[in-house]
Amino acid sequence: MLLALLAATPARSQETTLVPFSLKDQFDQVHTRDDYRGRIVMMIGSDRKGSKYSRVWRKALADALRGDPGFERLTFLGVADTRGVPFLGSRLGL
């Protein structure tokens, strides 16, 4: 599982600028840097076999960070490679 942390305002370091990005989800909604301005963004990515662990990682990370400065601005963004998923399955998030 690939785990990447992109932080607009890192909880434990000096403020930095979030790299520009644009991601389209399975419902054709586009997510960009501006959507997350002022947030701490934790991206959790996985392939088809690893997707069942994404919720486990999200909960573990949230539990570990709860109480840290900036926790209330923490946003999780799931990222998955759906190229191997049939069309209907990818639209339903399967």
In angstroms, the CA 87 to CA 71 distance is: 36
* β-pair partners for 25: none
| Overall pTM surpassing 0.75 (yes/no) | no
Name the phi and psi angles at 63, rounded to 5.
Answer: -65, -40
In angstroms, the CA 54 to CA 13 distance is: 25
pLDDT in tens, the chain (94 residues): 334 444 444 445 556 677 888 888 878 899 898 998 888 888 888 877 777 888 898 999 999 999 998 899 999 888 777 677 676 455 555 5
Residue 93 DSSP one-character state: T
